[in-house]
Every structure is written in structure tokens, then in C-alpha cells.
Structure 1
Amino acid sequence: MAIVKDFSVEEKLVSLIKLQKLDSKLDQIQILKGELPMEVRDLEDDLAGLNSRKNRVEEEINGISDYINQKKAAIKEAEALVQKYEKQSENVKNNREFEAINKEIEMQQLEGKLAEKHIRDANVELAEKVKQLDEVKKKIDDKSTVLETKQKELGKIIAETEKEETAVQKEIDNARTDIDERLLFSYDRIRKNYRNGLAVVAVERDACGGCYNAIPPQKQSEIRQRKKIIVCENCGRILTDEELAESVEIK
């Protein structure tokens, strides 16, 4: 913070009024953008979440497909073993060998049937995952279209206001250097407390221009004298007389 010289109360008020008007002008530029920046950020977050979900479902689909392929391979292996054991059964020498081979054949046939059941169940799950994937992709397409439109709208507004916004911000930075550090701190604190960003207001129709609470005549007289910084007892905003407020102009 630059060192500032000792200004009179009226000069301090003029600097505060100027800063307030510049800040309010910048606020108006931001209002022109409306809620578009927030909408764009929300849409970007939504898309990031949907893409993560899409990737997760695709991984699940790949996993199920691999599982099905493994079971198909198991079926082929079981069929091959059945053929092998059936061929061996033609050369058995006793009932014990025959029963042992038959048991192996039955076991491999059961393995094949179990693998087929696993494949059927997996195909049901796969169909559900494919359906989920299609739904997610549709949501991504819809959100992407809306996001593109919003980004274009925001880009157009930014292009229209960027030059003015930069110029106003530069004036604000310059105006802040003319204000005492403690006074500037109070101004910033008050401004943050109110959604409309008004920290310095004029007395209008015998009332505070911020909260519209009545200002006593004696207090109004002190405000017009500009001998000290006076704040509204109700809302805490810095008060100035209407004449001084109107005399301060910005580009």
C-alpha cells in the first residue's frame, strides 16, 4: 500500500465516493454476465462427472466381456476334454476305468453347463451396462450442447465488456491508492457485508441511501459539514450528503 498524504475529511469522502461509483460500475458489468459464469462452471463439473461415469461403465463392460470370453474358452476346453475322454473310453480294459472316464466326462459337461449359465448371467448384466452407457452418452451429448451454447454466450459478453472492465479496474486500482489504509479496510469490510456492494451512500429524503433508516436532522447537519466520517447507526455504511455525492463524476 502506497503512503498517502493527510487529506481533509471532504477529500477522503470524495475519494470514497469515487471508489464506490467505480466499484458499482464494475459490479454492473459483472451483472451483465449474469449467472452465466456459474452455469458454465456447473455444466463443466457435470460433464466431468458424467465422463468419469462413462469411463467407469466402459471399464465394467470390458471386464464383463473379458469374463464372457474366459467362459467361452472354458466351454471349448471342456468340450475338447469330453471328446478326449470319449475316445479314451473306446479302449478301456475294465469297468473301473470306464466309470472313471465317465465321471470325468460328466464333470466336464457340468463345467460347460455352468460356464454357459455364467455367460447368460453375464450377458444380462452386459446388456444393462450397455443401456447405462447409452444413457450416460446421451446426457453427455445434451450437456455438451448446452455448455457450448452457454460458452458462446459468455464469450460474446466477455468480448463486449472486457475492454471496459479492464479500464474500470485500472481506475479502481488508482483510486484505492488515494485512500488511507484503515479507511480502505473499513470500506472493503462494509462492501463485503452487502450483496449490492454499497459501502458509501448519500442521505436521500432524510434517510440512509443503503438501509433507508431515518437520519436525525442533527446528524444530517454534521454530514453536510463534512468535518468527520459518519456511518449509519443502523447498517454501518459510510454516509455522505447528496450534493457531494452528485458532484463526484466518473467516466
Structure 2
Amino acid sequence: MAKTKKSDVTVEDKLRALYDLQLIDSRLDEIRNTRGELPLEVQDLEDDIAGYEKRHAKITDEVKELDKDIKARKEAIKQSEALIKKYTGQQDNVRNNREFEALAKEIEYQELEIELSEKRIKEFKFKIEEKKELIAKVDEKLANYREHLEHKNSELDKIVKETEKEEKTLLKKAEEFSQNIEPRLLKAYTKIRAAVKNGLAVVPVERGASAGSYFTIPPQRQMEIALRKKIITDEHSGRILVDAELAAEERKKMEDIIN
């Protein structure tokens, strides 16, 4: 689409360019609406999966730490058993009862240490079993979420592929038409589009009112719109107004361009 010199651009040219852009944006809105809530559902599922994966990793790390604790306790038992053997051997060479009793106390202490370590090992093993059950539940949840995500992604990919070519063409056309609209008008158009629910910033006058509105436009105002000499907005909705004839011409033109 060849660019027009700014000095040669009439109000009618601006109105046609704005309505052309509106037609393109409306079609893009339709395409995106066909996807419905799928993109959000996919994002939610991805967030849920990331959360469960993080939880899985945390529990797995806790199991590893408990395994380390068990190994440390088993090593402590070996050390205590070695000391018991050592002290028992030393009891055979004591010179008096005092030395014998002192060694007996050391042996008793190491036996208590062994009992404590064995108790802790049982506790750690019980915790590991609990955490493995949690991991199994998390794995099950992850499998369900991943399967659901795959299904949703498949649905979304199918819809995207059906409209991908058209969407790319429309985006390119939207960029082309935007370059032919002065920044001030383009900014106003974008602001109005963002403010209205259906994204319609430029609408034709139909049956004496702006499209989608029940408020009648005075005949004198309708004549001004039909003359295409200035940009006129709807006083109720703020939308830019074009006459029905211009709208029909541009719809036909855009259908030919898009198709």
C-alpha cells in the first residue's frame, strides 16, 4: 500500500484508513476469540506443573538429606561398636576397680549412643516412607496435569494453525494501514479501542444511530458525518463515526484485500 503525502491526505482518507484498520483489528479479535480461554487454561496448567515440579524436587532433596542422616548414624554406630570393643579389651588389663568402672561407663555411654542412633534411623526411615508416598502423589498429579496440558495444547495448536496464515496477513496489513494514520489519530483510536468492551473504536451510522448504540444522532450531525469533512465522535460512547456508505465501500475493499 503506497504511502500518501501528508499534505494530500483529506479527512475522508483518514476516515477510510481508520475504518480499514478497525475492520482488520475486528477480524483479529474474532480470530483470537475463537481460542477462547484456552491460552489462559494452558498458562494455568503450566504454572500448576511448575509448582508441582518444584515441590517434587524439594521432597526429593529432603529424602536425600534423610539418607545422608541415616548413613551418618550408621557410621556413628560403627564408631561406637569399635569403641565398645576397645574399652572391653582394656577392661582385661585394668589395675583396679576404679579403672574398670570408668571403662564400663564409657561402654554404657556408647551402647546408649547406638540405641539413640538406631532410634533415629527408624525415625528417618519412617519419614522417608512418608515422603515417598508424597512423591508418588505428586507424580500422579503431575502425570494428570501433563496429560491435560498436552490435550489443551493440541486443541490450541489446531485452532492456531487454522488461523495462523490469516492472522499473519492481517497483522502485516494492520501495520501497513497504521503507518498511513497520523500518530495523534492512531493514539486516539488505540485509546478508544481499549476503553470499549467490543474493541470498536470506529463505527458506521446505522438507522440514525451509531452501530451498537440506541442513542439517535440528530439529522444535522448525520449530514456532517456524510460530508466527511471532519472527524466526528459519538458524544455518548466516544467512538469515531463514519457514514454507512463509506463503511460499505471499505468493507468490500477490505474483503478483497484480505481474501
TM-score (norm 1): 0.92
Q: Residue 229 and residue 31 in structure 1: after superposition, are their counterparts in 2 closer, same or farther (change >3 A)? A: same
Stretches (4+) displaced over 6 A: none
1:108 has 2:105 as partner: no
* In structure 1, C-alpha distance between the alignment counterparts of 2:87 and 2:6, rounded to whole Å: 101
Q: Which residue of 1 aligns with 2:129?
A: 127
1:51 has 2:35 as partner: no
* In structure 1, C-alpha distance between the alignment counterparts of 2:94 and 2:216, rounded to whole Å: 114
Letter in 2 for 1:61: V
Q: Which residue of 1 aligns with 2:81?
A: 79
Q: Bigger CA drift: 238-247 or 99-108?
A: 238-247
* In structure 2, C-alpha distance between the alignment counterparts of 1:109 and 1:213, rounded to whole Å: 94
* In structure 2, C-alpha distance between the alignment counterparts of 1:133 and 1:5, rounded to whole Å: 71
* In structure 2, C-alpha distance between the alignment counterparts of 1:22 and 1:176, rounded to whole Å: 11
Q: Give the % identical residues.
A: 47
Letter in 2 for 1:109: E
- The correspondence for 1:62, drawn from 64, 79, 96, is 64
* In structure 1, C-alpha distance between the alignment counterparts of 2:24 and 2:214, rounded to whole Å: 22
Q: Which residue of 2 aligns with 1:158?
A: 160
1:167 has 2:169 as partner: yes
* In structure 2, C-alpha distance between the alignment counterparts of 1:41 and 1:212, rounded to whole Å: 39
1:4·1:179 contact (CA, 8 Å) conserved in 2? no
* In structure 1, C-alpha distance between the alignment counterparts of 2:228 and 2:123, rounded to whole Å: 85
Question: Unaligned stretches of 5+ in structure 1?
Answer: none
Q: Which residue of 1 aligns with 2:224?
A: 222
Q: Secondary structure at the match of 1:203?
A: strand
1:71·1:115 contact (CA, 8 Å) conserved in 2? yes
* In structure 2, C-alpha distance between the alignment counterparts of 1:62 and 1:194, rounded to whole Å: 56
Q: Deviation at 1:152?
A: 1.6
Q: Deviation at 1:163?
A: 0.9
- Superposition pairs of residues 225-236 of structure 1, within 5 angstroms: 225-236=227-238
Q: Residue 5 and residue 27 in structure 1: after superposition, are their counterparts in 2 closer, same or farther (change >3 A)? A: farther
Q: Bigger CA drift: 101-110 or 149-158?
A: 149-158
Offset from partner CA, 1:54-87 (integer Å, 9 cap, x none): 1111111100111011112212221222222223
Q: Residue 45 and residue 5 in structure 1: after superposition, are their counterparts in 2 closer, same or farther (change >3 A)? A: farther
Q: Deviation at 1:23?
A: 0.9
Q: Bigger CA drift: 57-66 or 110-119?
A: 110-119
TM-score (norm 2): 0.89
- The correspondence for 1:136, drawn from 135, 138, 143, is 138
Equivalenced residue count is: 250
Q: Deviation at 1:210?
A: 4.5
What RMSD, in angstroms, separates the aligned Cα atoms of the two structures? 1.8
* In structure 1, C-alpha distance between the alignment counterparts of 2:61 and 2:46, rounded to whole Å: 23
Letter in 1 for 2:94: V
1:198·1:210 contact (CA, 8 Å) conserved in 2? no
* In structure 2, C-alpha distance between the alignment counterparts of 1:58 and 1:195, rounded to whole Å: 48
Q: Deviation at 1:125?
A: 2.1
Offset from partner CA, 1:110-156 (integer Å, 9 cap, x none): 11111122222222322222122112211211111111111222222
* In structure 1, C-alpha distance between the alignment counterparts of 2:204 and 2:72, rounded to whole Å: 80
